[in-house]
Structure 1
């Protein structure tokens, strides 16, 4: 048999010097810092995980040295930019899915400011810890559907929990964002997406605005206790007559749907790439275990069905990465990005991560169910990704709605 050692990210074409440097640096950080810290944070209570003496703060501080400056990356050619960020995202999630989320969400205010063309806000947010506030107590994945494409026929979505008014040169915010605001407990600035209220009290999507979280009227709830990706803190945000300068506005009600569309086109593939990193980690753990563990007098890898299972894991990881990268390339270069492609990438990659993690856990047998081995945690982390950034079912219906060609009806 001919064994071939593939590059870190599988069937990868040769990387240029900058790409190789980014991949090597982030991989080293993921291996030497994130993996141990991720296990520690997974076993802490949410309150302990964000306490001043938590290892989380050390990880976030060290992550600042990775050189992932979005305003600088934005000056690169589009294909080079998305390749670099894709490589980095995969390695971070390979290290730990929860901590990868905590690190990457810091960039969201910058990312959405750039999408909106508000360069001043991008520069303001660069280097600050960020979060993305969109879901609400009464609204989950439907908040990424401002066009109501997924709504039941003839049935509008209910009243929102967070509203913004535009009064003169200020945006005034009232209400609550749900406990699923990623990075809420550590963030300094929030990319807030909410509904707009006019002078008559009528509401509609929406407003996107950068909100510094040290403003009067901003408060935070308790951190969320959840099944997986526990290294990524999440929690509630409350706004009581919070006044933000109009200069912080990324989109008003007339531009909101377009920005929300572009936002989802940008965010979904990044979540997909996180899932690829988690799937790859599960596959690599299973591959190593199959060489170490003996059953029936032979290493597991000698058993035919084990080799078959490992091959299935390998091909799924490669297929998911190829689709996510293809979508990222398309959206970076097309005249208008494809939400159909973005949702396909996210759904495919997260489903792959769950399937690969499940198969890897099965290969570990009883050991896979224990916290002594990595698969119990990885399985929980992968399961959470089926809901993160929009539940897969909702995204599939929303993406499928883009297949309707009115000219053929």
Structure 2
């Protein structure tokens, strides 16, 4: 039998690091959670964005939340201050896309978690704005990248008045056997060297009321009638003749994200604006669903961390029964479960983004898992946080009730969680065994 090791002997040729611990050990985590130490570039990036989140996004988001939807997009609105200061930060897609996959994935997660930490609605607006340029880059379309640089305010239009999350299922894999998609609300008719657009996109187009450029997903008609299963994707300016917009949408949460309808009446665009034709449409839906859902996971993890930090600070300041409420067992219990859920969501979303940036073919089921986990978790954490605030949490004096409303909207946008779960389950199936 081997001799018992002396106390402090690690068996690795040196003394134990335990001897350097305090007598009463208590680790303190950084603002980015349970994560191996960030390198110098990552740490500066995270700190810069956290400062921006706290000093710019959060106060502007709270001001926008109290405004009418029309005031949010007015010329003198704080929304435009946010846009200017966001661009002044100098965070560019080209910079991120030039990094090696692992580094790029870490930087994407830092960026979107910190934007979410500041304000969920503004973070979604910022993310949607980049999609026309980002998807053009992923498809390697240099013309569209140059025509619409990332500073251009963009939007993503896919859902329609009669077609919500089912627009994310063009192959009909989730449809009831007796179900039919029905006539699409927006159709792109290909005619010689032109595309003619007619129809309407729903009021849920993020940035729809203010965007300069749109990445548009719609049914295509190449001569045999509109076919939603073989649609097309266009990247087009929104100042063309025949394009109009609906009224800004008044809504429950994410009021800093300006949403509204888009209308197309005999809008003609050259074929140069086609990012993906009918033969590439399934790839294009898979691509944007993979990218958007993964970054939704990071964003709403950041939102939840913001809610947790507010509750954590309040629990140390608010006194009840003669002590800070954090000393009460139930409060500490709730904070711990909020903490562990956030860290589990962060681990999943960061792992998914890392996997998808490194893989030859990203996994849409992984992105869906990250989105559903983070959005549901953020709502649960925000609800628990509001409970710790008690009656104060229901007032406008504290931002927690706004965060709860923002989180509720996240479980519907970019595909409702219920429909996405069905789609994710379908992608888990092994078709070779069916």
Q: Give the TM-score taking structure 1 as reference length.
A: 0.97
Distance in 1 between residues matched to 2:427 and 2:221, nearest whole Å: 28
Change (3 A) 1:202 1:259: closer
Q: Is the 8 A contact 2:219 2:226 kept in 1?
A: no
Aligned length: 409
| Local SS of the residue matching 1:268 | helix
Distance in 1 between residues matched to 2:25 and 2:287, nearest whole Å: 45
Map Cα deviations across residues 181-237 of structure 1 (whole Å, 9 max, x no partner). Answer: 001122110000001113232423311010100111111110111001110000000
1:194 matched to 2:218? The reply is: yes
1:241 shift after superposition = 1.2
Correspondent of 1:213 among 211, 219, 238: 238
1:54 matched to 2:77? The reply is: yes
Distance in 2 between residues matched to 1:41 and 1:95, nearest whole Å: 13
1:368 matched to 2:368? The reply is: no
1:177 matched to 2:201? The reply is: yes
Q: Which runs of 5+ in 2 are unaligned?
A: 1-23
| 2:337 paired residue number | 312
Runs of at least 4 residues off by over 6 Å: none
| 1:276 paired residue number | 301
1:154 shift after superposition = 3.9
Change (3 A) 1:173 1:14: same
Of the structure 1 ranges 190-199 and 392-401, higher mean CA displacement relative to structure 2 is found in 190-199
1:169 shift after superposition = 2.0
Change (3 A) 1:167 1:71: farther
| Local SS of the residue matching 2:201 | strand
- 1:18-97 aligned at under 5 Å gives the runs 18-97=41-120
1:99 shift after superposition = 1.1
Correspondent of 2:253 among 228, 239, 247: 228
Change (3 A) 1:177 1:202: closer
1:143 shift after superposition = 0.8
Distance in 1 between residues matched to 2:335 and 2:223, nearest whole Å: 60
| 1:265 paired residue number | 290
| 2:139 paired residue number | 116
Q: Is the 8 A contact 1:279 1:317 kept in 2?
A: yes
Correspondent of 1:12 among 35, 46, 65: 35
Q: Is the 8 A contact 1:228 1:380 kept in 2?
A: yes
Map Cα deviations across residues 103-138 of structure 1 (whole Å, 9 max, x no partner). Answer: 221101111112222122123222200000111010
| 1:297 paired residue number | 322
| Local SS of the residue matching 1:223 | coil
1:139 matched to 2:139? The reply is: no
1:70 shift after superposition = 1.3
Q: Is the 8 A contact 2:190 2:223 kept in 1?
A: no
Q: Is the 8 A contact 1:71 1:122 kept in 2?
A: no
Distance in 2 between residues matched to 1:133 and 1:282, nearest whole Å: 30
Distance in 2 between residues matched to 1:239 and 1:109, nearest whole Å: 18
Q: Is the 8 A contact 2:220 2:278 kept in 1?
A: yes
Distance in 1 between residues matched to 2:284 and 2:103, nearest whole Å: 23
Map Cα deviations across residues 269-311 of structure 1 (whole Å, 9 max, x no partner). Answer: 1111111011001110111111011112221111111111101
Map Cα deviations across residues 308-337 of structure 1 (whole Å, 9 max, x no partner). Answer: 110100000000011011111111111211
Change (3 A) 1:146 1:176: same
Q: Is the 8 A contact 2:220 2:231 kept in 1?
A: yes
Q: Is the 8 A contact 1:71 1:123 kept in 2?
A: no
Map Cα deviations across residues 353-402 of structure 1 (whole Å, 9 max, x no partner). Answer: 01100100111111111111111111101111111110000000000001
Q: Is the 8 A contact 1:41 1:231 kept in 2?
A: yes
Q: Is the 8 A contact 2:191 2:222 kept in 1?
A: no
| Local SS of the residue matching 2:246 | strand
Q: Report the RMSD for the aligned CA atoms in angstroms.
A: 1.2
Q: Is the 8 A contact 1:208 1:249 kept in 2?
A: yes
Q: Is the 8 A contact 1:115 1:259 kept in 2?
A: no
| 2:14 paired residue number | none
| 2:19 paired residue number | none
